[in-house]
Amino acid sequence: DTEVTQTPKHLVMGMTNKKSLKCEQHMGHRAMYWYKQKAKKPPELMFVYSYEKLSINESVPSRFSPECPNSSLLNLHLHALQPEDSALYLCASSPPGGAADTQYFGPGTRLTVL
């Protein structure tokens, strides 16, 4: 299994809703990432988990809450989002060790906040 999967593919939510995005990989990778990508812009790093511990939080608002329950699974919990949070949310993973490892990206979840 050499892929990163993300569910759902599309999500529409209201500003008062609570929803979660899910990311899964079974490649034995120990670093997992959440990115946010607005149209025609490069991805922006949100969070990094390394060995299931949060290692980087790029000053993301608390309405985004990441969770890494195990080495294969990464969640992003969403609550009280704003319309400007509408974007493509990408998950990635990379192998353990090495100074710079290829990041394997998932297909993304396209989020629309109404």
Partner 1 sequence: KNEVEQSPQNLTAQEGEFITINCSYSVGISALHWLQQHPGGGIVSLFMLSSGKKKHGRLIATINIQEKHSSLHITASHPRDSAVYICAVSPPGGYQKVTFGTGTKLQVIP
The CA distance from 105 to 4, in Å, is 6
Is residue 88 a contact partner of residue 37, using CB atoms and an 8 Å limit?
Answer: yes
Is residue 11 a contact partner of residue 30, using CB atoms and an 8 Å limit?
Answer: no
CA distances from 80 to 4, 83, 93 (A): 27, 10, 27
Q: Is 33 in the site for partner 1 (CB under 8 A)?
A: yes
Q: Is 88 in the site for partner 1 (CB under 8 A)?
A: yes
Q: Of residues 21, 29, 43, 68, which one binds partner 1 by CB under 8 A?
A: 43
Q: Is 13 in the site for partner 1 (CB under 8 A)?
A: no
- Min dist CB 44 to partner 1, Å, is 8
What is the contact surface with partner 1 in residues (CB under 8 A)? 31, 33, 37, 40-43, 45, 48, 50, 55-56, 88, 90, 92, 94, 98-108, 110
